[in-house]
Amino acid sequence: MQAAAAVGLGARPALQPRTGRASLHGPRSSPTSAPGAAAAPRGRQRLAVAAAAPTYSRDFSEKPRLIQHKNEAKAFYAFLSQVYDYIVNPGHWTTDMREDALQPAQLDSPDLKVVDVGGGTGFCTQGIVKAGVLPTNITLIDQSPQQLDKARGKADLQGVTILEGDAEDLPFPADSFDRYVSAGSIEYWPEPQRGICEAYRVIKPGGLACMIGPVHPTHPVSRAMADLWMLFPTEEEYLQWFKAAGFEDVQLKRIGPSWYRGVRRHGLIMGCSVTARKPAGGPSDSPLQLGPKAEVSAARNTSPLSFLLRVVLGSVGGFWYFLLPVYMWLKNLVWPRTGPLADKF
């Protein structure tokens, strides 16, 4: 199992409600670079949020990245779905990583009602089944019909309810699930705060949400490619979004392949697992009330040429992140990684 680290949520400035299209991501404070690690019992690393100074600044008024739109992401996955399980998983989302990332979600009962949001081909859903949850108690939802077709063909997912839908507008009543899981989906959400508020709404009081996603890189080339392609949140942003949505006991755990160097320096498509609990006595809906959705796919007025250019150019950034794991793997053969994932190489 690969090294990992956990980050606890300290006091943070609250995000303010958003209306209209004034800001697709809402106000955010300046991020800190990931904190330095201190040795912890049993070989694990626990991190304090504000231990290190920022290594770069970020413009939070930017528009969504080229494939951080629903239609563009849908087109991107129409092609990627054919090879997703063979290309993405070996370099970015291994079975060991999946088990490590899902462990804080406490999937410890076959009777838990679990929703896997943005579940794609069902790789994460398979991890939920492997943890012991009955397939008939699991709902997988994704906006890509091609990805869902792959999920429907997997023998261990027979009995799972598979639906096409929007992570920012889930078709479920409030307080429907014991657990909310989302892996590799937030990076395509035009409004990540809205999606996390939906996570709060659909789980029961006392239930857990588990968000697995990328971490923003500090290396200038990798940072440029990440920002060209899709949303790579900072660790600080994850913590702020969950706190603003009304969650408590927010924890962040770094994950990554055992051979991957510089999970922060170059970023990783699956670089952290964030878990948070809906308060037992809290309201059914998130206390953070947002205005109308900033992006309604059917209403977006984009020319076919503009749409094609966005998908093609955004895919260039994606290709960089398919090459990075190959480079990291080869580098580890020559110079094996011995430090924790928090190390900067």
Let me know how long the chain is.
345
> Would you call 70 helix, strand, or coil by DSSP?
helix
pTM: 0.75
pLDDT-derived band of residue 219, with 50, 70 and 90 as boundaries? Answer: confident
Place of tokens 């922060």: 264
- The pLDDT, as a whole number, for residue 205 is 97
Between 91 and 202, residue with greater pLDDT: 202
Which domains occur in the chain, in start order? Answer: 61-280+290-334 (3.40.50.150)
Helices (H) then strands (E): counts for the chain: 9, 10
The string of pLDDT tens digits covering residues 16-53 is 433 333 333 333 333 333 333 333 333 333 333 333 33
Q: Tens of pLDDT along 98-154?
A: 999 999 999 999 999 999 999 999 999 999 999 999 999 999 999 889 889 999 999
- DSSP H or E stretch at residue 313: helix 304-334
pLDDT of residue 222: 84
Q: Which of 120, 257, 258, 105 is nearest to 184 (CA)?
A: 120
The angle that helices 84-92 and 70-80 make with each other, rounded to 10 degrees, is 100
- What is the per-residue pLDDT across 49-77, written as a single tens digit (0 to 9) for each? 333 333 333 444 356 676 676 777 666 66
